[in-house]
Amino acid sequence: MDNEWFETVAEAQRRAKRRLPRSVYSALLAGSEQGVTVADNSAAFAELGFAPHVAGLSDIRDLSTTLMGQPMSFPAMISPTGVQAVHPDGEVAVARAAAARGIPMGLSLFASKPIEDVVAANPQTFFQLHWVGSRDFLLHMVERARAAGAAGLILTMDWSFSEGRDWGSPAIPERVDLRTMVRFAPEAVMHPRWLGRWARSGSIPDLTAPNLTPPGGAPPTFFGAYREWMSTPLPTWEDIAWLREQWGGPFMLKGITRVDDAERAVDIGCTALSVSNHGGNNLDGTPASIRLLPSIVGAVGDRVEITLDGGVRRGSDIAKAVALGARAVLIGRAYLWGLAAAGQSGVENVLDILRGGLDSTVLGLGHSTVHGLSPSDIVVLTN
């Protein structure tokens, strides 16, 4: 049944681990090489604490804000993640959950569902691009996003193609065919609920990337698209400026970890920045996003909206990021675990947990809105 409530994101992760085949669950785990960065993304939040008030608290709290012109019921949006074979409804279920909870949806270029279907489920959808293929192909994808009604673009730049993991990389097939089904059958039959969802949907996991379909062509496989991305010449700042101009609307540059890059992004007219290390999947040893946030806010926070992506697992994490200057956070693996645990209702469950935790933190800190959060609310914990 896809309506089982859980009380924490950690429990959503435990259920996802139980209910997904090992290869599918492994694909949801972050990290590269030694996993230093993915561990630090969460550990750094635990080094920040609060000093709550005990009286004069606000009975009513407004958690709403805006990002790139879009209203949000609380300062979080769905971070774009690739092919979501954890559930047959994939990104459409996530988009519906986000719409039901009043937050925007970020849709990955490598998503398993086409942008048209996702925008129909949530008009507040931001389409994410990687710099892949020629300028003509990028312009084709920009125009497709515009025609679909996307609210904005996200260009993700934080990737160095680090592939090795000390704990081993997941076994992901090129495509799901008869040979693949035979190979992975022992895993699948050990997880009847996951298998049953797909059986009831009348489909099988689709490892293609429909949003990368060339004009008049067929959707590439995920790895086919990935290889095309890896072989594309790396973009310059002039290339990024060109893409922003072609879009002409709200434009977020994702992957900022340095002040000088943040300043260049502002100079070329980006609407928003995402302080992000790709969830720990980029260059291992990059510090946690929350460690890098204050310096970037200090440098450009008065000229551009700044978000944070990486390690958010609790509503109090959102409060910490907002207190340190983020306009909002991007949620990644937390909602994927909810999707795996209970489909759309599981994603809604995760979002409710995060919103509830944020509300409790804003209450305890004596504020009536999230805009009251500031660095003075944060206590740096020392050993």
Query: What dihedral angle (degrees, nearest 10) is formed by the CA atoms of 256, 257, 259, 265?
Result: -10
Q: How far is CA 228 from CA 44, 144, 287, in A?
A: 35, 19, 29
Considering only CA atoms, which of 281, 274, 358 is closest in space to residue 315?
A: 358
φ and ψ at 295, to 5 degrees? -65, -35
Radius of gyration of the chain (CA): 20
For residue 378, list its beta bridge partners: 50
Instruction: For residues 168 and 46, give the distance between their C-alpha atoms in angstroms, rounded to a whole number.
Output: 27
CA dist 232 and 215 (Å) reads: 18
Q: Are 129 and 108 in contact (CB under 8 A)?
A: no
Please give the sequence-ordered ranges of beta strands (E in DSSP) within the chain, or none if there are none: 48-50, 65-67, 70-72, 76-78, 105-107, 125-129, 152-156, 251-256, 272-276, 305-309, 328-331, 378-380
Task: Look up residue 174 and give its two tokens.
Answer: 């090129």
Q: Which residues pair with 156 in a beta bridge?
A: 254
Report the half-sphere exposure of 59 (CA within 13 A, side-chain side): 0
If one counts every other C-beta atom within 10 angstroms of the C-beta of residue 213, the result is 17
Per-residue exposure over 162-171, b if at least 16 CB sit within 10 Å of its own CB, e if not: eeebeeeeee
Q: Among all chains, which residue has been given the structure tokens 């019921």?
A: 73
- What SS3 state is found at 317? helix
Which are the catalytic amino acids? 278
Q: Give SS3 for 297.
A: helix
